[in-house]
Amino acid sequence: MLARRDLHHRLVNGSDYPLPAVNVVIQLDPLVANGLRSADRKAPLQEIYAVDPLLFDSVLKRSITAPGVADGGFPTGVFLEHEALRLTGP
């Protein structure tokens, strides 16, 4: 999805809860090995996970980047309220 910039305007962030809270599911080493995370950011993410798994989920998604691509992360709009999902009425 990082490489499919043509689809980024259609993305809306959502939690995978309860998966972020299941410790055995969360593995940062494959992300580091595949160049999606830098090794120096692994420890801070682990600290965040220990305190708040949902915050970890958000921080991880906002900070993940495609290897070798300048500005290769998801755009900020993915993490904001999407107009099409806004509730209307009383």
Residue 35 lies in a domain: yes
pLDDT of residue 37: 83
pLDDT of residue 45: 92
Other C-beta atoms lying within 10 Å of the C-beta of residue 11: 15
Residue 78 lies in a domain: no
Structural domain that includes position 30: 5-68
How many domains would you assign to the chain? 1
Per-residue pLDDT of the chain (90 residues; tens, 9 = 90+): 888 889 988 888 887 777 767 777 778 888 889 888 888 888 999 999 999 988 988 898 888 888 877 777 888 888 887 777 777 766
pLDDT of residue 48: 93
pLDDT of residue 25: 74
Residue 31 lies in a domain: yes
Buried b (16+ CB within 10 A) or exposed e, 51-66: eebeebbebbbeebbb
Residue 85 lies in a domain: no
pLDDT of residue 15: 76
pLDDT of residue 6: 92
Residue 50 lies in a domain: yes
pLDDT of residue 51: 92
Residue 12 lies in a domain: yes
Residue 89 lies in a domain: no
